[in-house]
Amino acid sequence: MPKLLGHHRHAPSSAPSRPPSRLRFLGLGVTVTAVVCALAATPLVFDSRSPATATVLLPAGQPSAGGGADRASGAPPPAPEAREAVAADREVEITARQYGYEPHRFEVDAGDTVRLRLVSLDVVHGFFLEGHDLEAEVLPGKLTFKARRPSREESFREVEEVVFTAGRPGKYRYRCSVTCGTLHPFMQGEMIVRPNLPFRLGVAGAWAIALGFFAALFCPVPVGRSNRPGESPSTEPGGRPAGAGSSRPPWRLDLLRRFPWLDWLVRRRWLQLAIVGPMAVVLFFFLVAGLFGSPIGNRNIIVTIVWIFWWFLLITLLVPFGGRAWCMACPLPAFGEWLARRRLIGVRPEGEDSKSLRTGSLNRRWPKRFSGLWIPNLLFLSMCSVSTILVTRPALTAAVLGAMLLAAVVIHVLFRRRSFCRYLCPLNAWMSLYSMTAMVEVRTRDPEVCAGCKKRSCVRGTEEAWRCPWLEIPFQLDRNNYCGLCMECVKACPNRNLTVNARPFCSDVAIRGVDEAWMAFIMITLVAAYSITLLGPWGLVREWANVTEVGNWTGFALHTAAVWLAALVVTPGIWLLGSRLARWLAGLGGRGTPPGDATDGKSVTVRQIFVRYAYLLVPLGLMAWIAFSLPLILVNYTHITSSLSDPLGWGWNLFGTADQHWRPLAPEWIPYIQIPLLLIGLAVSLVRGAGIASELFPERSAAARSLIPHGVVCVAITVVLLRLFVG
């Protein structure tokens, strides 16, 4: 028998408070570092204990006496008796069908010899086992399949089974490597090599971080400097933390002073057009590709670039480092804005107050009752409910982008400035929340200058600059949430008192309003839901989500209802219970508002705790989204390079990469990046939470106690995500 043998909106309290000192967080930092180092060392330790990875391949049809030499490697075939001696510890037969494997998960011990057979029930499927140098193609209706070792061989050989040795402990995904349909990029299963040490270390790390953090928080001996009344407040206006663990104001680097060329650049009127113009051309091309190109998602550039490359770029780089920088480059509102302004580059100040369509826009005020994030929240959730269809159907992606473009034009014609971006764009919800973590901000240099400023040009606009398109009051800006980084206010200020600062990660901590809190709940729920549907081994869940192809409307309704219920009710419900418990632990009772003034921490309501502590889900949520996006780009990057050569799937080969064989980039290393990301997210959440707690409750011990319920929920969420990613 042929074998492939392998070894192979709450205003913060104005009372001075005492945030935990910097030294108390030293323990937390040491814990995080220790866990990260342990994780980094794991593969090295186990590599030395793992069996050798040399592989021997026997072609199909050769007698079992082993006449088939390993032509690829030149290695001699194993003797028959040697092969008989390869007694398998596990025998696994995997059945592939659109879009999952059965069994979808199996467990072996490190060093086990695994005998593997593959069959397909419907179409040609692939099988790529991460970390084990094994790839196969499985044809339907055949008991044999083709296999190769991709690191050494170009061609496949027909085999009946594969024998390999399970490598170091951890989770290894087996993925479809042959385009088999719309959801092909997400077809996968899981092999767990026991003991799953990375997962265990991750969970232990999460609890160690939480325990170390609370031990530091409850530490009775004050270490380092603390804030005293009259010294320096723990927060700046708007909830900017004075650095949890420090009485010093947080650092800021004035980028426009530091880099004069940047100062010159952001004051150019043509800057935005120079960025948006090419984007608009690209958008138009994507719409054409979506409507007229290949209907297979991973062969059409609108899907590979928008849903894989752009989404990854947005989550991992643009938002954490640039805040809403994308909003300056986004082509969707550009056409409406140009129409409403009747200018591509220049300024037309009188047009701002006109109420006539002849001047481009009616400039109506957006209805107050529809302001806030509720509409973007629900639109984002709706889009995500059909995202499995969206990310696999180029025409649908084109239709959605086209509809957004049209809606933006209509809203610009009817309403003031960027009402579309602010009150309707589904992405606004995501960007608004996570731009709080960004490492840049537009802020005033000196509030005293603004206090003495009579012109308020940043609010009214000038002949050189439009008034804030985002309906913000620039000189009062204290959060990133709704600043589109358009630089109009920087141009407008005659005193050069507005600038762009670099700042620490997660510097805005003030969530204002229940709508913003709900966004945090929706986002953390969605990242878990996506991880189950798109990254999980469960073909059935994908079948439910893939309603347009499968037609299982009951399953789709169940899937959608479960996601909506979890995002809108279950997660907020748990948070509400935690808020009541937090208030009780702080010594104020679970509900109601006992008498007390606004500064003694006794009038803090459950609602305030609920809203303010929702921020704990922001750093953790962002890191979870990054961890989620990482495998999407590392595993599917060849779809991007292929579609660049053949953007419409019409058989072009512009750059010679159209026929590039699918090959993931270091997929077995992904868990070792995901775990530290989640742990760092948890640690930042807790540290920032401590700052918020000290704003709400001036008494240190009450602040620490109040943080326990939400801290525990954050640890639980981290563990759930760890389970989904690496468990």
Q: Interface residues with ligand SF4 (CB under 6 A)? A: 442, 444, 449-450, 453, 455-458, 468-470, 472, 474-475, 477, 483-489, 493, 495, 497-498
Q: Which residues are paired to 442 by β-bridges?
A: 500
Nearer of residues 417 and 710 to ligand SF4, judged by Cβ: 417
Q: How far is the CB of 282 from ligand SF4 (least distance, A)?
A: 23
3-state secondary structure of 1: coil
Nearer of residues 498 and 704 to ligand SF4, judged by Cβ: 498
Please report, for residues 235, 445, 459, 476, 695, the alpha-carbon distance to residue 448 in angstroms, rounded to integers and kept in the order given: 18, 9, 17, 12, 25
What is the DSSP annotation of 462-525?
A: -SSSPPPTT---GGG---STT-----HHHHH-TT--EEEEE--TT------SHHHHHHHHHHHH
Nearer of residues 491 and 705 to ligand SF4, judged by Cβ: 491
Please report, for residues 58, 345, 633, the alpha-carbon distance to residue 69 in angstroms, rounded to integers and kept in the order given: 7, 70, 38
Q: How far is the CB of 657 from ligand SF4 (least distance, A)?
A: 38
Enumerate long-range contacts of 558-562, CB under 8 Å, 24 or more apart: 559/533, 560/385, 562/529
Contact of 234 with 17, CB cutoff 8 Å: yes
Q: Give the Cα separation of 171 and 670 in Å (integer).
A: 10
Helix (H) or strand (E) holding 450: helix 447-451
Q: How far is the CB of 321 from ligand SF4 (least distance, A)?
A: 16
Phi then psi for residue 499, to 5 deg, are -145, 175
Nearer of residues 203 and 485 to ligand SF4, judged by Cβ: 485
Sign of the C-alpha dihedral computed for residues 114, 117, 122 and 126 taken in this order: positive
Nearer of residues 153 and 488 to ligand SF4, judged by Cβ: 488
Q: Give the Cα separation of 405 and 415 in Å (integer).
A: 15
Nearer of residues 452 and 592 to ligand SF4, judged by Cβ: 452
Contact of 104 with 95, CB cutoff 8 Å: no
Nearer of residues 71 and 460 to ligand SF4, judged by Cβ: 460
Q: How far is the CB of 180 from ligand SF4 (least distance, A)?
A: 45
Q: Give the Cα separation of 632 and 437 in Å (integer).
A: 22
Contacts of 406 (CB under 8 A, 6+ apart): none
Sign of the C-alpha dihedral computed for residues 463, 468, 473 and 479 taken in this order: negative
Q: Name the percent of the chain in helix, strand, coil, to the closest 5.
A: 50, 10, 35
Nearer of residues 376 and 709 to ligand SF4, judged by Cβ: 376
- Which residue, chain included where needed, has tokens 């989904």? 724
Nearer of residues 459 and 570 to ligand SF4, judged by Cβ: 459
Nearer of residues 452 and 651 to ligand SF4, judged by Cβ: 452
Closest CA relative to residue 682, chosen from 707, 705, 716: 716
Q: How far is the CB of 333 from ligand SF4 (least distance, A)?
A: 12
Q: Using only C-alpha atoms, what is the Rg of the chain?
A: 28
Q: Give the Cα separation of 649 and 293 in Å (integer).
A: 6
Nearer of residues 169 and 469 to ligand SF4, judged by Cβ: 469
